[in-house]
Amino acid sequence: MRPIIKDDFLRVFHSLGLEKGHTLMVHTSLSKFGYVCGGAQTVIEALLETVGEEGTVMMPTQSWKNLDPEDGVHWDVAEEYWQMIRDHWPAYDKRITPTNTMGSVAEMFRSWPGAVRSDHPARSVAAWGKHAEYLVSGHDFSNIFGDGSPIGKLYELDGDVLLLGVGYDKNTSLHLADTRAAYPGKHNCVEHSAIMENEKRVWKAYETLFVDGEDFEQIGTAFEQACTVRHGKLGNAELRLMKQRELVDFATDWIQHNRT
């Protein structure tokens, strides 16, 4: 397979219907494409050129390792050392804290010129463009994915979701449906993260919804059977573009009828 260049991304984005002014939540796996000339930089440049300054691009920049070992995020450390992690994990700093398994595109995007990042210590997003400041502002610790969160604000703006080489298990917008749906097993939990508070590092406790994404692929399959999703192909990667409101509304109903 020949190398993929920026013009290839611009062409496939155009074929999906993306244009200036679009507001997007983007999830990416760069490795799924094959050889991309310029790597993550090429993908980001193509996205920003496509939507332009009147558009907006948002990506997940989660640093979920900044959670309590009891949550299973430090599986490679023996339990006898968990307190050491609680005492010494670096406080979240949106300027420098790296992403965890968000992919090389999101990792580069968080510090891209003009990009801004939200203040959530474990579930942050970064955004660039017209609505960037609005999307990332006020990301409350306890409201990770609900109305008023960056994902909820994207719904208000009637934005789109673009999946680049990833499936619905990576589709963060489905968590907004999770917060809106009523189902028997829905419950809150207490999470902890290292933050700076009054100029001191603290291990902060906050209550939030326990998120469950195990059925997201099932939801995605059902959604594509019932609603319009634009498909594309580039290299070895499948691309999907969908309206976020349509996805969230469908998923909310699906969860209420199918989760226990």
What are 177-226's pLDDT values in tens digits?
999 999 999 999 999 999 999 999 999 999 999 988 999 999 999 999 99
The pLDDT, as a whole number, for residue 164 is: 98
Q: Angle at Cα 39 formed by Cα 36 and Cα 41, nearest 5°?
A: 130
Instruction: Please state the rounded mean pLDDT for residues 138-150.
Output: 97
State CA 81 to chain mean position distance: 30
Reported pTM: 0.96
For the chain, what percent of residues have pLDDT higher than 70?
Answer: 100
Q: Is residue 159 part of a domain?
A: yes
Q: Is residue 146 part of a domain?
A: yes
CA distance 64 to 43: 24
Question: Could you tell me the residue range of the domain that residue 101 belongs to?
Answer: 6-66+94-184+215-258
What is the domain count for the chain? 1
pLDDT value at 251 more than 90 = yes
**CA atoms 139, 118, 10, 52: torsion sign:** positive
Q: Is residue 71 part of a domain?
A: no
Q: Is residue 87 part of a domain?
A: no
The token duo for 210 is: 């326990």
Task: List CB contacts of 7: < 8 A, sequence separation 6 or more.
Answer: none
Q: Is residue 252 part of a domain?
A: yes
The answer to whether 241 and 230 have CB atoms below 8 angstroms apart is: yes
pLDDT value at 35 more than 90 = yes
Q: What is the mean pLDDT of the chain?
A: 97
Q: Is residue 84 part of a domain?
A: no
Instruction: Please state the rounded mean pLDDT for residues 33-49.
Output: 98
Residue type, 147: D
Alpha helical stretches, state H, 172-239? 174-180, 216-226
- DSSP one-letter code for 31: G
Q: Angle at Cα 91 formed by Cα 89 and Cα 94, nearest 5°?
A: 130
Q: Minimal CA–CA distance to 233: which of 168, 177, 174, 164?
A: 164
Give the number of C-alpha atoms closer than 13 A to the C-alpha of residue 34, restricted to the C-beta side: 13
Residue type, 209: L
Instruction: Please state the rounded mean pLDDT for residues 52-75.
Output: 96
Of how many residues is the chain composed? Answer: 260
The pLDDT, as a whole number, for residue 212 is: 80
Q: Is residue 148 part of a domain?
A: yes
CA distance 240 to 216: 15
The pLDDT, as a whole number, for residue 5 is: 98
Q: Is residue 24 part of a domain?
A: yes
Instruction: Please state the rounded mean pLDDT for residues 119-143.
Output: 98
